[in-house]
C-alpha cells in the first residue's frame, strides 16, 4: 500500500469564500502514482469545510445565503464569551462537513460529470490548511 500526504494553504480575501480545489487534488493524485484507492480531503480548522458540489456561481451564492439562514451570525453565542466572534462559522462547518473522500480509479478522481471539490471558508482572512491524503496502490 502506498500513501501520499500534502497540505494546501489558504488565506482568503473575504470572510466567507468558496474555492474550487479539484485541480489541486487531481495534481496531488497524479503525483502520488496511485492508480486505485481513495483520497481524503479534510479541513484542519473547525471554521471551514470541504464539500463536493457544482461549480456554478449562482448556486454558490445560494449555498452561502442558505447557510447564513441555517447557522446565522449572532452576537449571543455562548462561544463568544471566550472572546471569539465566529460561533456561526463553527455551525456552518458542521452543516457542510469538514471532509470528503473521493475514490481514485485508473489513476483519476472517480467523480461524476458535475462533481467538483470545494474548500469552504467561513472565517477567513487568515492562514488555514487542508490535508490531502492519498491511499491505495
Which residue, 50, 52, 47, is CA-closest to 109?
A: 52
125 binds a second copy (CB under 8 A): no
Strand partners, 17: 121
- Give me the DSSP letters along 53-119: E---HHHHHHHHHHHHHHS---TT-GGGGGT---HHHHHHHHHH-SEEEEEEETTEE---TT-EEEE
Distance of closest approach, residue 54 Cβ to a second copy, in angstroms: 5
String marking each residue 80-99 x if it binds a second copy according to CB under 8 A: xxx----x--xx-xxxxxxx
Q: How far is the CB of 66 from a second copy (least distance, A)?
A: 6
Closest separation in Å from C-beta 32 to a second copy: 12
Binding site for a second copy (CB under 8 A): 1, 3, 5, 36-38, 40, 42-46, 51-54, 56-59, 61-63, 66, 70-71, 77-82, 87, 90-91, 93-103, 105, 110-115, 129, 131, 133, 135-137
Amino acid at each position: 500500500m502506498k500513501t501520499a500526504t500534502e497540505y494546501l494553504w489558504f488565506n482568503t480575501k473575504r470572510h466567507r469564500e468558496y474555492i474550487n480545489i479539484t485541480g489541486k487534488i487531481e495534481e496531488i493524485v497524479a503525483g502520488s502514482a496511485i492508480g486505485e484507492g481513495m483520497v481524503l480531503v479534510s479541513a484542519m480548522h473547525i471554521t471551514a469545510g470541504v464539500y463536493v458540489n457544482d461549480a456554478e456561481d449562482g448556486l454558490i451564492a445560494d449555498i452561502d445565503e442558505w447557510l447564513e439562514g441555517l447557522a446565522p451570525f449572532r452576537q449571543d453565542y455562548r462561544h463568544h464569551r471566550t472572546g471569539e466572534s465566529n460561533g456561526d462559522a463553527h455551525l456552518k462547518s458542521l452543516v457542510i462537513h469538514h471532509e470528503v473522500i473521493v475514490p481514485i480509479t485508473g489513476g483519476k478522481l472517480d467523480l461524476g460529470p458535475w462533481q467538483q471539490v470545494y474548500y469552504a471558508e467561513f472565517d477567513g482572512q487568515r492562514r488555514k490548511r487542508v490535508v490531502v491524503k492519498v491511499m491505495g496502490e
